[in-house]
């Protein structure tokens, strides 16, 4: 079975964005050590999962070749197949992306049972909250930025009961971000 990972930027107080979707709290530029960590994290990945709202900005941004990104990163983001989770779209308006709707657990379990490498989810907020709440992730990679914003979209929204996590590793980077790698503790 394929490993399903979450990679998400967060503030120290656990938010993925500010109250109005602000992302100006993120630490840039990244340093070589965090870039190497991300390269190792994504090396076995051959499928990206995105929520519809994030996909609407994410896919066109990478297709345009964002400034400051290496050509290797741009090529990887554009060439890696994507699954956009949406109950409002019926077909994909983007190249190299398919739309999957319906029951999220069924969709994820179907993806995980297919042959291939790892799967990585980048978000958006509703998707991340649902993946965590439904305990569909095998690994959580939280990139904690050295900023607190006090309010916004939490990473762990609507989780219901406590979810126990096991810390696999923690690594601080020269740019100030700390990567926390967790796995769910399942009974």
Whole-angstrom Cα Rg for the chain: 16
Q: Is the peptide bond before 29 cis (omega within 30 degrees of 0)?
A: yes
Read off the pLDDT of residues 115-126 as tens digits, 9 standing for 90 and up: 999 999 998 889
End-to-end Cα separation, the chain, in angstroms: 19
What 3-state DSSP class applies to 163?
coil
Q: What φ, ψ does residue 28 adopt, rounded to 5°?
A: -140, 155
Domains delineated in the chain: 4-184 (3.40.430.10)
How far apart (Å, rounded) are the C-alpha atoms in residues 4 and 165?
A: 15
Q: Which of 72, 74, 92, 6 is nearest to 45 (CA)?
A: 6
User: pLDDT tens for residues 33-82?
Assistant: 999 999 999 999 999 999 999 999 999 999 999 988 889 999 999 999 99
Q: Are the C-beta atoms of 57 and 66 separated by less than 8 Å? A: no
**158 HSE (CA, 13 A, CB side):** 10
- pLDDT at residue number 68: 85
Q: Residue 83: helix, strand or coil by DSSP?
A: strand
Q: What is the pLDDT of residue 31?
A: 92
């Amino acid at each position: 079975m394929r490993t399903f990972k979450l990679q998400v930027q967060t503030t120290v107080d656990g938010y993925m964005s500010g109250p109005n979707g602000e992302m100006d709290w993120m630490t840039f530029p990244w340093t070589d050590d965090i870039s190497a960590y991300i390269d190792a994290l994504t090396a076995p990945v051959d499928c990206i999962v995105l929520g519809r709202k994030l996909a609407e900005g994410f896919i066109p941004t990478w297709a345009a070749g964002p400034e400051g990104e290496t050509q290797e990163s741009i090529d990887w983001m554009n060439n890696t197949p994507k699954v956009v989770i949406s109950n409002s779209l019926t077909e994909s308006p983007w190249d190299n992306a398919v739309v999957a709707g319906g029951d999220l657990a069924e969709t994820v379990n179907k993806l995980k049972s297919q042959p291939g490498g790892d799967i990585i989810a980048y978000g958006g907020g509703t998707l991340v909250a649902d993946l965590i709440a439904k305990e569909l992730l095998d690994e959580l990679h939280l990139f904690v930025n050295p900023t607190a914003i006090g309010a916004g979209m939490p990473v762990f929204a609507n989780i219901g009961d406590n979810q126990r996590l096991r810390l696999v590793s923690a690594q601080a980077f020269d740019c100030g971000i700390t990567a926390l790698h967790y796995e769910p503790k399942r009974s």
